[in-house]
Chain A
């Protein structure tokens, strides 16, 4: 949605991503969310007296991968800081984070919305640790009316990467596209499962509005508790609208943190920034600086897998339509089938269209999970080959594909069982063509008189007569020849 009334929205997104390393950020506890409360804790992640943090090298390796994938500068020497605030799920009552010198900074990625590309600047990517989880008991789960709270420190100390964008985003759709692309990048890197519902990827959005064309930034609000890409878009749209209505009505936006409420589809004030904490950042004396040599940085860059943008470009170079490529890269199963089919030498354009078209539509209408479909890359290659050698018509191929998707067998088996193999025997076709020409003398006369579009009508008649199995190209050619001059 474009902000109406001559206003423009200015949006920045902060993302927290939990890294799925084997062990936590600063201790040897496992990163494992399937355990009973407090079962994966130790002196370090419980903040026991005397315990000390030691950074997980793999977590540093992974944040460097993220930074490199977001085209960031890698800081040669960066530091850990303590961010001081009291909260019962923060065991030391300070979070080990980074402050003025993050490990990665000044990156950018591009996102496409409706064919328009926007460049989103990445301000910083920094390393920190996650907190425990607080469960508010009683009062309908609402924090302010709770009777008491319960704390589980299993999540405490899980490596957490914070990614902050420049205020380059202008619409909720762009923010969503950014979030989706970031999720794809993180998953492609294999550093996190990046699940929004489970909190391993979390978004906060900073939103302000200003008259279109204005240079200065308006007062911003920060929206928290966004648990899906869809709600990221909804929350931002709501907040833009709220601010426009407020300002249009003569009011002013208050700098504050607002809570997105999924059920009501609205944001509510949590606290204003005036009473915000003084975090008293200072360099973490228990930890030494992170030094990334040019060799280390180069090795990280060299080891990056093919990222979504590069993959889309590669599909494009194979002749796949841009929109189709985006769909293939966006959906893991589609992408995997496509890659497998390419390995088998299948036609990229045809197979891409089937996957983004028929397969997606089938999955939607049937409500079937793609992951459970018995489709393989070999099936797709086989199907494409049958079209290429004239065994199947394009429309029959789609029917065969539908059969394969519901488990009726390989394309050859489905085509045979459903009797969809194309008639390419010209003597058989000629018999049908002659019969149709004899039955429609007016049409034949019309064509001879120059109404060539009637050829299509006659082709249709032949196709109907053959139950769609005749090769339409051959039929068309034959009719044209027999009605010529």
Chain B
């Protein structure tokens, strides 16, 4: 059975503006893909730790050394909108 999902909520979390028609289509496609992906639940995995990294290592740090920053022109070169060295965006609704 295809998995039923709240596709509008998912699209909002992913911050992608989709039309009703697109939401419907993606909802159906995701349902079918998840039906297949759900097969992972068939395997007994009690006591099996998750793998986040294929080649385990620890403490891969760098020393506290300043290696420099980009020239400011490079920082802003690709920006859609800037003002006085800042990136400029439309007003922000929420607070972080």
Seen from chain A, the residues whose Cβ lies within 8 Å of a Cβ on chain B are 21-23, 27-30, 36-43, 46, 54-60, 77, 79, 85-90, 93, 131, 134-136, 139, 143-144, 146-153, 259, 270-271, 278, 280, 283, 285, 287-291
A291 surroundings in chain B (CB, below 8 A): 58-59
Asked if B45 is an interface residue, CB under 8 A from chain A, the answer is: no
Give Cα A399–Cα B90 distance, bound, in whole angstroms: 63
Chain B interface helix/strand/loop/mixed: loop
CB pair A288 B60 closer than 8 Å:
yes
Pick from A23, A134, A259, A285: contact of B96, CB under 8 Å:
A134
Q: Residue-by-residue, is B52-96 near A (CB-CB < 8 Å gives 1, otherwise 0)?
A: 110011111111111111101001100000011111111111111
- Nearest CB in chain B to that of A147: its residue: B91
Q: With a CB–CB cut-off of 8 A, which chain B residues contact A290?
A: 58-59
* Residue B40, interface by CB 8 Å: no
Interchain CA distance A87-B94 in the complex, whole Å: 8
- A270→B95 contact, CB < 8 A: yes
- Closest chain-A Cβ to B75's Cβ sits at a distance in Å of 5
**Can you offer 22 A-B residue contacts whose CB atoms are under 8 A?**
A28-B65, A29-B66, A29-B69, A38-B72, A38-B86, A39-B85, A42-B69, A55-B60, A57-B63, A77-B58, A86-B15, A88-B89, A136-B91, A147-B91, A150-B83, A150-B87, A151-B86, A151-B87, A288-B57, A288-B58, A290-B58, A291-B58
Say whether B1 faces chain A, with CB atoms less than 8 Å apart: no
Please give 20 more A-B residue pairs, beta carbons under 8 A apart, in addition to A23-B67, A38-B85, A60-B61. A27-B67, A28-B62, A28-B65, A36-B72, A37-B84, A39-B69, A39-B85, A42-B68, A58-B63, A86-B15, A88-B89, A143-B95, A148-B88, A149-B92, A150-B86, A280-B13, A287-B60, A288-B56, A288-B58, A288-B59
Contacts A86-B15, A278-B13 given; does A57 touch B61 at CB 8 Å: yes
Report whether B75 and A36 are in contact in the complex, using a CB–CB cutoff of 8 Å: no
The bracket for how many chain B residues form the interface is: 35 or more
Distance of B94 from chain A, by nearest CB (Å): 7
- The reply to whether A149 and B15 form a contact with Cβ atoms under 8 Å apart is no
| Given A149-B89, A271-B94, A288-B53: A54 in contact with B68 (beta carbons within 8 A) | no
Residue of B nearest to A27 (CB): B67
Q: Using a CB–CB distance below 8 Å, which chain B residues touch chain A?
A: 13, 15, 52-53, 56-70, 72, 75-76, 83-96
Is the CB–CB distance between A23 and B64 below 8 Å? yes
Q: Which residue of B lies closest to A23 (CB)?
A: B66
Q: Tell which of B60, B83, B92 touches A134, judged by Cβ atoms closer than 8 Å.
A: B92
CB distance from A55 to the nearest CB of B (A): 5
Closest to B63 in A: A57
A134, B91: Cα distance in complex, Å: 10
Q: Which residues of A contact B86 (CB under 8 A)?
A: 37-38, 135, 150-152
Bound: A278/B10 CA distance, A: 10
Please give the distance in Å from B58's CB to the nearest CB on chain A.
Answer: 4
CB neighbours (8 Å) of A57 from chain B are: 59, 61-64
Q: Which residues of A lie under 8 Å from residue B88 when comparing CB positions?
A: 148-151
Contact B61 A40 (CB under 8 A): no
Task: Provide the residues of chain B in CB contact with A54, threshold 8 Å.
Answer: 60-62
Give, as a whole number of angstroms, the nearest-CB distance from B54 to chain A.
10
Residue of B nearest to A257 (CB): B95
Contacts of A259 in B (CB 8 A): 95
- Residue of A with least CB distance to B13: A278
**Nearest 7 CB-CB pairings of A with B:** A28-B67, A58-B64, A150-B86, A57-B61, A291-B58, A283-B52, A151-B87
Complexed CA–CA distance, A77 and B49 (Å): 14
